[in-house]
Amino acid sequence: MLDVSDTRRAFSAYLDRLIDGLTARPDVTGLVLAGSTADRARVDEWSDHDFLVTTVSEQAAETMRTNLAWLPDAETLVIAVREGPHGLKCVYENGAVLEFAVFAPGELLLAHANDFEVALDRGGIGAAMREVAAKPKPLGSTSPEAHAQLFLAHLLIGVGRARRGELLSAGQSVRSHALGSLLALHRSVVVGGADARLDDLDAYRRLETVHPDFAALLERALERDPERAARSLLYLAVTHGVTAWRGWPVAAERAVRERLGWPMDSPQ
């Protein structure tokens, strides 16, 4: 494990070079640091550099997305792949990771953000980012009622596929889709489930820090085969207060249990 102070110095040194390079470009109008790149007290040896770049035109933005020579040490990149119309994920030969997006004028408002720092602002970037940060987060775009129904539906679908022999698809339904809905429910309907330390853009992040016991039980549940994992997730929903929520769809839970042959009085 690398020394934390050395890691943070190297992290900041790379960031300084990035800022200097982008500041020297007349086609760049802004640079916004996000996540741990903005809150550098959180940086450790596994932190990546997250940032947003704004440009003077769509042509300039696309040029920067396709020609990465503007990145420090670009010649040592071993992965450089597009993620959607604006984003890229890059990896250097030393294992350092970048996740960033390049926007044309007006496109910055498409972003989502929690922690951020405006490192370069040639007009309107700070104001735009305050608007971005104030937007409802993706985690809040689905209601608890919908998450509860999706949780049960994904359990049913996953177990059905497992019984058919489609174990990979079953695992995805249970360990990804159902789990995601359960995490969102736990955060929104259980007293004490929400905490400012949790990432409000990603339901999976920092659960081990905030709710270590719950996270450990989830991890053990997910190590099981898809059907036993599904039963364990439902058991954890019961034992950790999710099903005590007054909006919990009791009739839907009963229907799923009956279809799968899981008794109501034996959740695990």
231-238's contacts with Cβ under 8 Å and 24+ in sequence apart are: 231/262, 231/267, 231/268, 232/268, 233/151, 233/155, 233/174, 233/178, 233/179, 233/182, 234/155, 234/262, 234/267, 234/268, 235/267, 235/268, 236/182, 237/151, 237/182, 237/185, 238/267
pLDDT of residue 36: 81
pLDDT of residue 4: 75
pLDDT of residue 257: 94
pLDDT of residue 140: 56
pLDDT of residue 194: 59
pLDDT of residue 151: 94
Stated pTM of the model: 0.71
Pair type for strands 28-34 and 116-121: antiparallel
pLDDT of residue 33: 95
pLDDT of residue 265: 63
pLDDT of residue 26: 96
pLDDT of residue 254: 92
Dump pLDDT digits (tens) for 19-31.
999 999 999 999 9
The whole-angstrom separation of Cα 257 and Cα 241 is 18
Q: Which residues of the chain have pLDDT under 50?
A: none
pLDDT of residue 204: 61
